[in-house]
Amino acid sequence: MKEFCVWFTGLPCSGKSTLANKLKEKLEELGKKVYILDGDIIRKELNVDLGFSEEDRRENIRRVSVVAKILTECGVVPIVALVSPFRESRKKARERMENFVEVYVRAPLEVCKERDVKGMYKLALEGKIKGFTGIDDPYEEPENPEVICETDKESVDESVEKILAYLENKGYLERKGYTEEEEEAVKKRLEELGYI
Ligand SMILES: Nc1ncnc2c1ncn2[C@@H]1O[C@H](COP(=O)(O)OP(=O)(O)O)[C@@H](O)[C@H]1O
Ligand SMILES: [Mg+2]
Task: Quick: pLDDT tens for 133-184.
Answer: 999 999 999 999 999 999 999 999 999 999 999 999 999 998 776 777 877 8
Distance 44 CA to ligand 1 centre (A): 21
pTM: 0.91
Instruction: Tell me if 161 CB under 6 Å of ligand 1.
Output: no
Share of the chain above pLDDT 70, in %: 99
φ and ψ at 5, to 5 degrees? -130, 135
If one counts the domains in the chain, the total is 1
pLDDT at 51 over 70: yes
Q: Are strands 100-106 and 34-38 parallel, antiparallel or unpaired?
A: unpaired
Give me ligand 1 centre to Cα 125, in Å. 20
Whether the Cβ atoms of residue 12 and residue 134 lie closer than 8 Å to each other: yes
Q: 11, 18, 24, 106: which to mutate for ligand 1, most atoms within 8 A of CB? A: 18
Domain residue limits at 23: 5-153
pLDDT at 72: 97
Distance 183 CA to ligand 2 centre (A): 31
Query: Any idea how long the chain is?
Result: 196
Domain membership flag for residue 190: no
Q: What is the CATH number of the domain that holds 18?
A: 3.40.50.300
Task: Give residue-wise pLDDT tens across range 79-93.
Answer: 999 999 999 999 999
Catalytic residue flag (residue 84) = yes
So what's the pLDDT on residue 185? 85
